[in-house]
Structure 1
Amino acid sequence: MRTRSLLIAALPVVALLCGALVWAALRSAPEPPWVEQLQGKILRLDQRTPGDLGVYIKHLGDDGELDHQAGRYWYLASAVKVPVAIATLQRVDEGVWPLNQRLALRNEDKVDGSGGLAWQDPGSEYDLKTLLEEMLQRSDSTAADMLINRIGEDELNRRIASSMADQGFGYITSLLRVRHELYRELHPDAANLSNRDIIQLASAPLGRERVRALARTLDVDLSELRADNLKQAYQRYYARRLNAATLRAYGGMLEKLARGHLLSRANTDLLLDLMGLDEYHAYRLEAGLGKDVPFAQKTGTQFERACHMGIIDPKSEQPIVIAACVEGAGQEQAAQTLETLGSLVSDTLLH
């Protein structure tokens, strides 16, 4: 009887040990051959091109995972618009908002950047689907801010942390706040710039002319600014990790999207379509992958920063998640680096 009791008492321990052994075996399982092959190619690409390259790739068919500087934070720029879209469609799935819910454009929504909504009259109305399309396909920052302001920054970040990525994302802000935080690195009064001020400042070329325009707008002397060039302001802003994430965290979010863990089937398909699944622009990663490769994607561009994130063949049984960024290089060079990366991925994984 005592022996039987001891055996029963030992069962949980045995189960834990077995589980640990299985987990260890899984973790020690060799990576698919493509991982090492592609890792070497990416390392050589990074070494021979200007700036720094970060890459995260996960093949959802064989669970192979590639990490090249994917654990550090990278500034996302307009790639933040994908989690904004996910948060919006989650509210639709929850029955809080219908997809045809109309939002009225306000002056406080307007911000410079791609797209044309900033030039429309206040009071103009757009449904959620149209705003998602403008934000994702034309990267319209005013459309993005209309959605972010509707969701709320804190709620957006709560959703990112609770469902999209439990760690690895910095705080995501409105696109207007991006400008405020950047210009505050030059002068604290920039926090009070109006939307009109922000849009007008964007007409001044990047560099000293933009700095001078900011000083005139704030009615301060150039000597009162905290830096004499915009590059210093950007570097300080980037260091704060606002609107940044690790590529591993961003890739994990895309994996959840591809697996249908974030949205209903209908809204997953809608989002993938809005991310240009059936379109081809021959730009960055997409140019290297080739026009016959289905690719749901979003780019991001800022001063000395360029990203391209997406899911290759997302509606297949074996989609591939890729998140890649370049920093410290000019836009043309960054685009070429990402195009070359796309070619390496295509040659190694798709042929």
Structure 2
Amino acid sequence: MLMLALTWLPPVTVVAATPGQAAPASLYEEAPVTWKSTLETRLAELEAGFPGEFGVYVQDLNTDESYSWRGDEWWYLASLIKVPVAIEVFARIERGELALDDSLVLRQSDYVDGAGQTNWQAPGTPLLVEFLLEQMLTVSDNTASDMLIHHVGLEAINRRARSLISSSEEQAHERLGEITTLVDVRRHLYGAMHPRAFELSGRDFIALRQAGNMAQRIEAFRIRLGVSRDALQMADMDQAFDAYEATGLNGGQLSAFGEMLASLSKGRALSPASTAELLSIMRRTRSGERRLKLGLPGELSFAHKTGTQHRRICDAGILTQDIAPMGLSPPALQEPPPRVVIVTCTRGPLSGGRAEQALAEIGAAVRSSGVTGRP
């Protein structure tokens, strides 16, 4: 009886209730199963059990089909911004203004807290551009990053990053926030607590990081400024990070960042030789082994960059099968090898391990969707 009654209803459009961008289907038509619909179903299951939110952008570079789960929301990109820094450095190399075997001198003002070997070098040490790129991309060395940023300039980096997004100039500014130096990330973060944070040097922030946990760092910050606790405008780092993220600095849409990676992969950003060199470095990334890469097909290579900040982590890159230069398919193959851009970020959970687990599960979901080849 119920089925008979339904036949008299007018056609109804069902709109997806999840954050994904799946096409609506008629009530009487069974939507075709695609890699996008398969991925959306799995992401909905994953986020239901995740103590926070995540965003995902996936683009099949062979067909230009893309899928977004909160990918058009604003996300803090953390150290993902080091990829456009590297693109600008390679562009200067192509123009003959810089070379991989050129040296930049480490200055006292270059030091920033974080991983990598650059902080262990003495002021005045000449460091090869090739070394700085390797440190910036594979271990996310902040001091190496700022040395390169100071050399090529933030204006050029921001201009080039936005030029690689498939949007008008005005829209590109709305989709990708201003990239800053890594030391200014610290100044803006602590500046949410007290404006005199902008007086501090990179060495000061290294000392704050060494002070201990977040509460101890705030206390060390207060003492360094010589102000009372009442003078601090925020009580904890959670509030400070939220205020900093709200500025839009070093943030953007995951879809915009994904389009930038697509431009890089397709040779729109750099020459074939420079593209190959940059992606080769990104394949050697040593951070994030338990993020996307853990869930992706092991027979494919992942040229990627990670980002980590308080309650926020990211992983983004280009998944390929290295059987032909620039991803071209040999004539003997019936189908082109997979070339897929994946951009992911999480926000919310205090546990970095739980956030990394979510990214690994997202990687597995991308793999099982079929976009990377046979699941």
Scaled by the length of structure 2, what TM-score is found?
0.82
> What is the alpha-carbon distance in structure 2 between the residues aligned to residue 232 and residue 220 of structure 1?
19
> What is the alpha-carbon distance in structure 2 between the residues aligned to residue 109 and residue 278 of structure 1?
23
The match for 1:304 among 306, 311, 315 is 311
Given that 1:286 and 1:342 are in contact with CA atoms closer than 8 Å, whether structure 2 keeps it comes out as yes
Scaled by the length of structure 1, what TM-score is found?
0.88
Shift of 1:116: 2.2
Given that 2:52 and 2:348 are in contact with CA atoms closer than 8 Å, whether structure 1 keeps it comes out as yes
> What is the alpha-carbon distance in structure 1 between the residues aligned to residue 131 and residue 346 of structure 2?
30
> What is the alpha-carbon distance in structure 2 between the residues aligned to residue 280 and residue 113 of structure 1?
13
> What is the alpha-carbon distance in structure 2 between the residues aligned to residue 176 and residue 280 of structure 1?
20
> What is the alpha-carbon distance in structure 2 between the residues aligned to residue 154 and residue 201 of structure 1?
29
Structural RMSD (CA): 2.0
Letter paired with 2:92:
R
Tell me the equivalent position of 2:334.
none
The match for 1:338 among 359, 362, 365 is 359
Given that 1:277 and 1:294 are in contact with CA atoms closer than 8 Å, whether structure 2 keeps it comes out as no
Change (3 A) 1:185 1:31: farther
Letter paired with 1:141:
N
Letter paired with 2:72:
G
Q: Does 1:179 align with 2:179?
A: no
Change (3 A) 1:307 1:153: same
> What is the alpha-carbon distance in structure 2 between the residues aligned to residue 32 and residue 150 of structure 1?
49
Letter paired with 1:296:
A
Change (3 A) 1:325 1:31: farther
Given that 1:164 and 1:262 are in contact with CA atoms closer than 8 Å, whether structure 2 keeps it comes out as no
Shift of 1:196: 1.5
Letter paired with 2:158:
N
Shift of 1:150: 0.8
> What is the alpha-carbon distance in structure 1 between the residues aligned to residue 352 and residue 242 of structure 2?
17
> What is the alpha-carbon distance in structure 2 between the residues aligned to residue 258 and residue 48 of structure 1?
34
> What is the alpha-carbon distance in structure 2 between the residues aligned to residue 225 and residue 85 of structure 1?
36
Given that 1:257 and 1:263 are in contact with CA atoms closer than 8 Å, whether structure 2 keeps it comes out as yes
User: Where does 1:87-236 land on structure 2 (aligned, <5 Å)?
Assistant: 87-164=88-165, 166=169, 167=172, 168-236=175-243
Give % identity: 37
Unaligned 5+ segments in structure 1 are 1-26
> What is the alpha-carbon distance in structure 1 between the residues aligned to residue 152 and residue 130 of structure 2?
15
Choose between structure 1 and 2: higher helix proportion: 1
- How many residue pairs are counted as aligned between the two chains? 324
Given that 2:192 and 2:233 are in contact with CA atoms closer than 8 Å, whether structure 1 keeps it comes out as yes
Given that 2:285 and 2:305 are in contact with CA atoms closer than 8 Å, whether structure 1 keeps it comes out as no
Tell me the equivalent position of 2:253.
246
Shift of 1:42: 1.0
Partner secondary structure for residue 295 of structure 1: strand
Given that 1:278 and 1:295 are in contact with CA atoms closer than 8 Å, whether structure 2 keeps it comes out as no
More deviation, 88-97/134-143:
88-97
Change (3 A) 1:206 1:196: same
Shift of 1:280: 9.6
> What is the alpha-carbon distance in structure 1 between the residues aligned to residue 88 and residue 113 of structure 2?
23
